[in-house]
C-alpha cells in the first residue's frame, strides 16, 4: 500500500499569503512523510523560497502578471478574485507539463484558489479542498445565504441591523461576528475537504459540516504546525527577541502580533508594517520610544511559535488569525483578542466564550481599555483560570496529534482515502 502512495503525486496550490502558505506547507510535509510525492504550484507573487526541509519536493511557478501593489490597493477579497482569473491559464500550463511526465495526479487546493478546482475538473483529476480557517468559520460561510432568508439580495443590510443579536443555532456567535463572504466550495467537483483543526476544539461545527452541510468526507487533521513542523516564513525571523525574553520573569510578557495582513490605524498599533504608510517606528514619540525600549522589545518579524513557547510569555495580544489562535492554544497561552475581519471575529468569540481562554477587546481603543484587558489577563484570578484552561487545552491538542488521537487517525483515514481515489 505504501508503494502505491509513493507513486501518487499530490499537487498543492496555496494562496500566496503567509497565513495560508504556512499550513499548506505543513500539510505538504505531513503527506510527504506518509509517502506521497509532492508538487507545490506557487504564484510569482509572494513566492515561498523553500529551505532544505523541502528538498524532495517539486516547486513550479504559475505565471501571472499581478503587480505587487495590487494586494494593498484592492484588499484581500478583490485581490483573490483577480488572482483566480489571472492564474487560470498559467496553472493549466503547469498541469499540462506535469501530466506529460506523470499520471496518478491529485490536486489539493486552498479553498480560495478555486481556479485549481475548475482546472482539475477539466483535466478529470481528483481534487480536494484545504481550508486554512476554522471549521466554524467554514460552516458560517457555507450557510451564509440561509442565515438571511428574508434578505438574500442584500444580506449585509440585515447583518448590520441585527449585529448585536445572537445568530440562531450558532451560539455564541452574533451577527457581527460572521465572516461576510460565502463559501466557494464546489461540492460537485471536490471529493473531500481537509480542515486545519482538531475535533476537541470544534466538535459541534465539524459534526454539522459532516452531517448537514457537505456531502463529501471532512478530515480535521490539525493543528498542522503540531503534526509536521517546518520553516515556512516568507520574511526573515528576527530571533534576537528570544535573548531578551530569556531575561524576563515567567509569565510576565505579553506578546503582541497581528498576523501578516491586518492593516490598522496608527492610534492602535506601532508594529512596523501593520500601519498604513509606515515602515518602522518613526511614529513613536521619543519619550514613548524610550519606555518601549526599556520595558519591551520590537522586531519587524518574530519567530512567533518560538516566542509563544517561551516561559516568559504569559499572554498573547492577537488579531486572532486561525494560525495564531492554534499556535497560542498549542502553547497554552491565553489571549487578548482584537479581531479585524474575515474569520478572526469567529475565532475571537470562541476564544472568549467557548474555550474561555481569551478576553475580547471591542470598540474604540484607549489607554484605559488596554489597561483593563491586560490586568484581567495577566494579574487577575480570572486570568489565572484562563491560563489553567489554556494549558489543559494544550494537552488535549497534543493528545489529538499523537498516535491514536483524533487528528492522527483522521490523517491516516485521509491517506487511505487518497490512495483509493
* Positions in the binding site for ligand UDX (CB under 6 A): 17-20, 22, 132-133, 233, 257, 259-262, 301-302, 304-305, 321-324, 327, 342-344
CB of 323 to ligand UDX, least distance (A): 3
Active site residue 110: yes
CB of 338 to ligand UDX, least distance (A): 12
Smaller CB separation from ligand UDX, 90 or 321: 321
CB of 289 to ligand UDX, least distance (A): 19
What the block records as the C-alpha cell of 306 is 518560538
Smaller CB separation from ligand UDX, 90 or 339: 339
Phi/psi for 212 (5° steps) reads -120, -40
Beta bridge partners of 43: 62
Q: Which of 32, 110, 225, 319 is catalytic?
A: 110
Smaller CB separation from ligand UDX, 262 or 269: 262
In three state form, how does the secondary structure of the chain look? Answer: CHHHHHHCEEEEECCCCHHHHHHHHHHHHHHHHCCCEEEEEEECCCCCCCCHHHCCCEEEEECCCCCCCHHHHHCHHHHHHHHHHHHHHHHHHHHHHHHHHCCCEEEEEECCCCHHHHHHHHCCCCEEEEECCCHHHHHHHHCCCCCCCCCCCCHHHHHHHCCCCECCCCCCCEHHHCCCCCCCCCCCCCCEEEECCCHHHHHHHHHHHHHHHCCCCEEECCCHHHHCCCCCCCCCCCCHHHHHHHCCCCCCEEEEECCCCCCECCCCCCCCCCECCCCCCCCCCHHHHHHHHHHCCCCCCCCHHHHHHCCCEEEEEECCCHHHHHHHHHCCCCEEECCCCCCHHHHHHHHHHHCCCEEECCCCCCHHHHHHHHHHHHCCHHHHHHHHHHHHHHHHHHHHHCCCCHHHHHHHHHHHHHHHC
CB of 307 to ligand UDX, least distance (A): 8
Smaller CB separation from ligand UDX, 142 or 304: 304
CB of 247 to ligand UDX, least distance (A): 20
CB of 9 to ligand UDX, least distance (A): 26
Residues 97 and 91: their CA atoms lie apart, in Å, by 10
Smaller CB separation from ligand UDX, 119 or 133: 133
CB of 20 to ligand UDX, least distance (A): 5
CB 410 within 8 A of CB 98: no
Smaller CB separation from ligand UDX, 205 or 344: 344
Smaller CB separation from ligand UDX, 94 or 195: 195
Residues 13 and 16: their CA atoms lie apart, in Å, by 9
Residues with catalytic function: 20, 110
Amino acid at each position: 500500500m505504501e508503494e502505491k502512495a509513493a507513486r501518487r503525486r499530490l499537487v498543492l496550490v496555496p494562496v500566496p499569503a503567509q497565513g495560508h502558505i504556512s499550513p499548506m506547507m505543513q500539510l505538504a510535509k505531513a503527506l510527504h512523510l506518509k509517502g506521497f510525492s509532492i508538487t507545490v504550484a506557487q504564484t510569482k507573487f509572494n513566492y515561498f523560497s523553500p529551505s532544505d526541509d523541502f528538498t524532495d519536493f517539486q516547486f513550479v511557478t504559475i505565471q501571472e502578471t499581478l503587480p505587487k501593489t495590487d494586494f494593498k490597493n484592492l484588499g484581500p477579497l478583490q485581490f483573490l478574485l483577480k488572482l483566480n482569473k489571472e492564474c487560470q491559464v498559467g496553472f493549466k500550463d503547469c498541469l499540462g507539463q506535469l501530466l506529460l511526465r506523470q499520471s496518478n495526479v491529485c490536486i489539493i487546493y486552498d479553498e480560495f484558489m478555486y481556479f485549481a478546482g475548475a482546472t482539475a475538473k477539466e483535466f478529470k483529476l481528483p481534487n480536494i479542498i484545504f481550508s486554512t480557517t476554522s471549521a466554524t468559520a467554514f460552516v458560517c460561510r457555507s450557510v451564509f445565504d440561509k442565515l438571511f432568508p428574508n434578505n438574500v439580495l442584500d444580506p449585509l443590510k440585515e447583518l448590520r441591523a441585527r449585529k448585536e443579536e445572537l445568530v440562531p443555532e450558532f451560539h455564541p456567535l452574533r451577527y457581527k461576528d460572521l465572516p461576510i463572504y460565502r463559501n466557494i466550495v464546489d461540492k460537485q467537483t471536490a471529493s473531500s475537504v481537509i480542515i486545519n483543526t482538531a475535533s476537541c476544539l470544534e466538535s459541534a461545527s465539524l459534526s454539522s459540516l459532516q452531517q448537514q452541510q457537505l456531502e463529501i468526507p471532512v478530515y480535521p487533521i490539525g493543528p498542522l504546525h503540531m503534526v509536521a513542523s517546518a520553516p515556512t516564513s516568507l520574511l526573515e525571523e528576527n530571533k534576537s527577541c528570544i535573548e531578551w525574553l530569556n531575561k524576563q520573569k515567567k509569565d510576565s510578557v505579553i506578546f503582541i502580533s497581528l498576523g501578516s495582513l491586518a492593516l490598522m490605524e496608527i492610534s492602535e498599533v506601532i508594529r512596523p508594517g501593520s500601519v498604513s504608510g509606515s515602515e518602522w517606528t518613526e511614529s513613536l514619540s521619543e519619550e514613548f520610544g524610550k519606555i518601549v525600549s526599556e520595558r519591551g522589545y520590537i522586531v519587524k518579524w518574530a519567530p512567533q511559535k518560538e516566542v509563544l513557547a517561551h516561559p516568559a510569555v504569559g499572554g498573547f495580544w492577537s488579531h486572532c488569525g486561525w494560525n495564531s489562535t492554534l499556535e497560542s492554544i498549542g502553547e497554552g497561552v491565553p489571549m487578548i483578542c482584537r479581531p479585524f475581519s474575515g474569520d478572526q471575529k469567529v475565532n475571537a468569540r470562541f476564544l472568549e466564550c467557548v474555550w474561555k481562554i481569551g478576553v475580547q477587546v471591542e470598540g474604540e481603543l484607549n489607554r484605559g481599555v488596554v489597561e483593563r484587558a491586560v490586568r484581567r489577563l495577566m494579574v487577575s484570578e480570572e486570568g489565572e483560570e484562563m491560563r489553567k484552561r489554556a494549558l489543559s487545552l494544550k494537552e488535549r491538542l497534543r493528545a489529538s496529534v499523537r498516535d491514536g488521537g483524533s487528528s492522527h487517525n483522521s490523517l491516516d483515514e485521509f491517506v487511505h482515502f487518497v490512495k483509493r481515489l
